[in-house]
Structure 1
């Protein structure tokens, strides 16, 4: 039950921020997320700049914010495992451009 809760929370968080990058293709490219050195404030600022509506949705969910903060505070192997856990969820479709914008620009904030 606890695992299902965390996976569901992860899906919700990823849908807000990381979107379809985890499910966009047969060989998903999540390396920008996995290897990011950005902090949560940087990610939040980049998200506000690239997609204010998604940023507002994210901030309305404390569980999603917490999941993303935990992801960003993890090392690459833990990030990859967390992203693999939520891969394949259809709720993530449609956010590919958001994740790419945030993952590639957050270091500028």
Structure 2
């Protein structure tokens, strides 16, 4: 049982290689995950501080992945329309994976995106 849990965590962590926001948006363009990620005004430092406080497991996964850190920094530096386009492209590339990730960690990501301005 423990090995199945570990395997699932490894698969989830490996699936996050692009960047957390790009791999979590749900299928609808007006869903809360997409809205929160595309419209956040938070800096990378604010997002990582919010992750540390509110989603420590995700923060730890991010800390082990310099490539994900760079991708997240680049994503947050994009204008809103480019973020929306990037999210849509990621959704189209693998909708099943997006749905799984959104269900598993989407609520945490929305919480971080909606509160990161407090950090």
Q: Deviations over 1:69-91 (max 9, x none)?
A: 00100000110011111112516
Where structure 1 has 5 or more consecutive residues not aligned to the other structure, the ranges are: 1-8
TM-score, structure 1 as length reference: 0.76
Contact 2:38 2:83 in 1 (8 A): yes
The Cα RMSD (Å) is 2.4
Alignment of 1:2-81 (within 5 A): 11-14=16-19, 17-18=20-21, 21-23=24-26, 25-27=27-29, 28-29=31-32, 30-81=34-85
Change in 2 beyond 3 A, CA 1:21/1:61:
closer
Deviates more, 1:84-93 or 1:62-71: 84-93
Aligned residue for 1:103? 113
Q: Give 1 or 2: higher helix fraction.
A: 2
Higher Rg of the two aligned structures? 2
- Number of paired residues? 98
Shift >6 Å, 4+ stretches: none
Larger RCO (CA within 8 A; separation ≥ 6)? 1
TM-score, structure 2 as length reference: 0.70
